[in-house]
């Protein structure tokens, strides 16, 4: 997410960000970062502009200094590894999950001691969790999203993009200081640390094509088995074109186009053009679509997968936990998953612990929640007689 400060001050009054694109500059920056107890971090990727996204920019801020690291030029980012791994350096992100996935996927960093200002905002019951809304409320800053969908692989990067990029991290350090005070005042610091640790353990695996992913397209479940077989081939053909062009699949053609084309399943160029669908897309990939349709028409028919039916007793426990979670969250004016994350709720419902020791094992990543709500959770799934 990219923001720009509009009316705090003229950006020309700020010292220019330090552009880091040489091994020597990276090592020097890393030495500076390692001397700090708290740094702000953000990343920019090219997910809207490439078939397989990658990190295109890494921003750091500390002590009024903003660094912009160019990973497209730097082949080796290992000098950053000790910074991310150091448990004594707080790494402040806003909405950390995506950044952490990208950093782990592309560079295999171990990342310890995270503070996520978005998670903190949710725990504190803020009405809005976006960075712009929070900075506006805290520091009277107005932010712009002009470059939110920019191509961050663009080189040379225009000065305006550099100026905007540095603002994603510049105010996270003082924001974290404010939030830490609020968390402490409300007795929620341990809960926040719990969630910061959980988010820091997110994995960064490369996402490969799910060949059954076409079932997630809106309208796919309305197709008959033959049309579904055609849709699968169209879905795979679109992915192959996207890979060849190094473009996101949605930029080759939108999902609804594929579903509508599968419904009609034209077998000739004339029939294809007579569908009334986007003529530009039909002509550009005419051979691709026709080949995929022909393959789908001769493939085995496909029936939509049936959703697994939840065991009756399991559903009762899930519903009971959700109801308890909802009531508890309402009392604190927070969203329900702040009280008990969904994955933990489902584990508890599935394992059905009947004592605190068993429940504690299931809540190893949530010790504060276990201490605070353990008995209530047991009573929710197995009310006392």
Regarding the domain with residue range 312-381, which homologous superfamily does it belong to in the CATH classification? Answer: HRDC domain (1.10.150.80)
| 139-179 pLDDT per residue, tens | 888 766 788 889 999 999 998 898 889 988 999 999 999 99
Task: Determine contact, residues 231/213, Cβ cutoff 8 Å.
Answer: no
pLDDT above 80 for 238: yes
Task: Determine contact, residues 345/321, Cβ cutoff 8 Å.
Answer: yes
Pick the CATH number of 4-200 from 3.40.50.11540, 1.10.287.1060, 3.30.420.10, 3.60.15.10: 3.30.420.10
In DSSP notation, 204-215 reads: -------TTGGG
pLDDT above 60 for 64: yes
Higher pLDDT, 341 or 141: 341
pLDDT for res 234: 98
Least trusted range by pLDDT, from 135-144, 164-173, 201-210, 330-339 = 135-144
Q: Where are the domains of the chain?
A: 4-200, 213-298, 312-381
Q: Which residues contact 50 (CB under 8 A, 6 or more apart)?
A: 153, 246, 247, 248
Confidence of residue 6 (pLDDT cuts 50, 70, 90): very low
The reply to whether omega before 156 is within 30° of 0 (cis) is yes
Q: What is the pTM (predicted TM-score) of this model?
A: 0.92
Q: What average pLDDT score do residues 357-371 get? A: 97
Domains 4-200 and 213-298 share a fold: no
pLDDT for res 160: 86
pLDDT for res 143: 66
Regarding the domain with residue range 213-298, which homologous superfamily does it belong to in the CATH classification? Answer: HRDC domain (1.10.150.80)
Q: Report CA torsion sign: 19, 94, 116, 65.
A: positive
Confidence of residue 385 (pLDDT cuts 50, 70, 90): low
Residue written as token pair 């921003």: 59
pLDDT above 70 for 2: no
| 67-82 pLDDT per residue, tens | 999 999 999 999 999 9
Show the beta-strand stretches assigned E in 46-104.
55-62, 65-69, 90-93
Query: Can you list the pairs that 239-243 forms with residues at least 24 positions away whose Cβ atoms lie under 8 Å?
Result: 239/209, 240/288, 241/285, 241/288, 242/51, 243/51
Task: Determine contact, residues 74/21, Cβ cutoff 8 Å.
Answer: yes
Q: Which two tokens stand for residue 58?
A: 């890494």
pLDDT for res 310: 86
**DSSP state at residue 13:** G
pLDDT for res 3: 38
pLDDT above 70 for 7: no
Mean pLDDT of the chain: 93
């Amino acid at each position: 997410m990219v923001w720009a400060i509009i009316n705090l001050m003229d950006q020309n009054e700020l010292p220019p960000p330090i552009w880091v694109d040489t091994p020597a500059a990276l090592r020097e920056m890393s030495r500076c970062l390692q001397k700090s107890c708290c740094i702000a971090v953000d990343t920019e990727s090219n997910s809207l502009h490439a078939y397989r996204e990658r990190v295109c920019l890494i921003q750091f801020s500390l002590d009024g200094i903003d660094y912009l690291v160019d990973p497209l030029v730097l082949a080796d980012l290992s000098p950053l590894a000790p910074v991310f791994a150091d448990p004594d350096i707080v790494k402040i992100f806003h909405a950390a999950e995506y950044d952490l996935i990208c950093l782990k996927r592309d560079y295999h960093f171990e990342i310890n001691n995270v503070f996520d200002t978005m998670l903190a905002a949710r725990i504190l019951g803020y009405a809005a969790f976006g960075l712009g809304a929070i900075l506006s409320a805290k520091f009277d800053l107005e932010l712009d999203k002009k470059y939110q969908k920019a191509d961050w692989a663009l080189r040379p990067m225009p000065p305006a993009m550099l100026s905007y990029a540095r603002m994603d991290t510049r105010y996270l350090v003082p924001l974290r200081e404010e939030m830490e005070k609020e968390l402490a005042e409300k007795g929620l610091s341990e809960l926040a640390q719990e969630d910061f640790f959980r988010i820091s353990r997110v994995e960064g695996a490369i996402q490969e094509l799910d060949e059954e992913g076409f079932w997630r397209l809106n309208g796919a479940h309305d197709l008959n088995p033959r049309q579904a077989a055609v849709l699968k081939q169209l879905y795979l053909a679109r992915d192959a074109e996207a890979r060849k062009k190094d473009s996101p699949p949605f930029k080759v053609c939108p999902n609804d186009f594929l579903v509508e084309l599968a419904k009609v399943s034209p077998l000739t160029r004339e029939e294809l053009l007579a569908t009334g669908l986007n003529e530009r897309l039909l002509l550009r990939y005419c051979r691709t679509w026709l080949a995929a349709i022909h393959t789908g028409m001769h493939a085995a028919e496909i029936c939509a997968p049936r959703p697994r039916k939840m065991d009756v007793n399991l559903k009762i426990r899930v519903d009971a936990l959700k109801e308890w979670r909802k009531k508890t969250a309402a009392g604190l004016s927070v969203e329900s998953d702040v009280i008990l994350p969904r994955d933990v709720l489902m584990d508890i419902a599935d394992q059905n612990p009947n004592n605190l020791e068993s429940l504690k094992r299931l809540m190893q990543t949530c010790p504060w929640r276990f201490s605070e709500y353990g008995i209530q959770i047991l009573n929710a799934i197995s009310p006392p007689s």
